[in-house]
A and B are shown apart, each in its own frame.
Chain A
Amino acid sequence: MIRVLFFGPVADRVQAREMQFEYTPGMTLHDVTAKVGMQHPGALSIVSFIAVNQNQVHDKQISLHDNDEIAFMAKFSGG
């Protein structure tokens, strides 16, 4: 299972804080991004950062592993 998390403005657009996708061998971050984009096309337009298991990643071709946690995040505004 791949767990996908949303926070702040992205969560508002998705109207959920979490989604889950069945893991399939060979699955990439791009695959998950495409699935989220299909369901919530407006949400990805404000995503500036993606993290896999709490580490920011830039390469969407990276392979995922079962039980990975992905976060789609807008620009930060803490402080």
Chain B
Amino acid sequence: MNEPVRIQEADFSQDEEIRALKASSKRIGGIGTFLGCARDFSEGREVSEISFDAYGPMALSELKKLRSDAIEKFGLLDARIVHRLGTVKGGDNIVFIAAGAEHRDTALEGCRWMIDALKERVPIWKKEITPQGDSWVTPHP
């Protein structure tokens, strides 16, 4: 739980992540967060479940680099990233990103940059399981 970057099957608590982020510095004046969750409908089809595959060691290493890059690029005071693997159902949490900074602009920009970079840089793949069959998700811009 104390590791700021994690890949795990278990669900996570946004409150606990934010508490850990706030505990890292009392200079934090704003926290930008992103919560990605599973949709039960996509591309005109009902989605029963979403399963994830990942190149685990590279994904974790890339997420750690991504966090460090964001801290440096935006001057964040701290940041946390948690991504789930395994299988999730509609409404379940998938990914949580939090960026802490002195001011809101930096926190929000840093958070947005991290989720965009995660989608481009981190070797994780998402498969939608539907009554009509399974299909790997094509990346969204």
Q: Which residues of A contact B (CB under 8 A)?
A: 5, 7-9, 11-12, 49, 51, 54, 71, 73-79
Contact (Cβ within 8 A) B136 A49: no
- Seen from chain B, the residues whose Cβ lies within 8 Å of a Cβ on chain A are 36, 52-55, 57-59, 61, 83, 94-95, 115, 118-127, 136-140
A79 CB to nearest B CB, Å: 5
Closest to B138 in A: A77
Which 4 residue pairs of A and B lie closest in terms of their CB atoms, listed nearest first? A78-B124, A8-B125, A54-B58, A9-B136
Pairwise interchain contact B126-A77, C-beta atoms closer than 8 A? yes
A78 touches B136 (CB 8 A): no
- Note all chain B residues with C-beta closer than 8 A to A73: 55, 123
Q: Roughly how many angstroms separate A13 CA and B20 CA in the complex, as a whole number?
A: 42
Q: Which of A5, A51, A54, A74 contacts B125 (CB 8 A)?
A: A74
B55 touches A77 (CB 8 A): no
Could you tell me if B136 and A76 are in contact, using CB atoms closer than 8 angstroms? Answer: no
Q: Which residues of B contact A71 (CB under 8 A)?
A: 55, 58, 123
Our pick among A5, A12, A75, A79 for the contact of B55 (Cβ within 8 Å) is A5
Considering the complex, give the chain A residue whose CB is closest to the CB of B128: A77
- Beyond contacts A71-B58, A79-B36, A79-B94: 13 other A-B pairs, Cβ-Cβ < 8 A, are A7-B53, A8-B125, A9-B136, A51-B55, A54-B57, A54-B58, A54-B61, A73-B55, A75-B139, A76-B119, A78-B95, A78-B118, A79-B122
Cα–Cα distance between A51 and B56 once the two chains are bound (Å): 13
Is the CB–CB distance between B57 and A78 below 8 Å? no
- Beta-carbon contact of A78 and B58 below 8 Å: no
Q: Are B123 and A77 in contact (CB under 8 A)?
A: no
Query: Which chain B residue has the least Cβ–Cβ distance from A9?
Result: B136
- Shortest Cβ distance from A53 into B: residue: B58
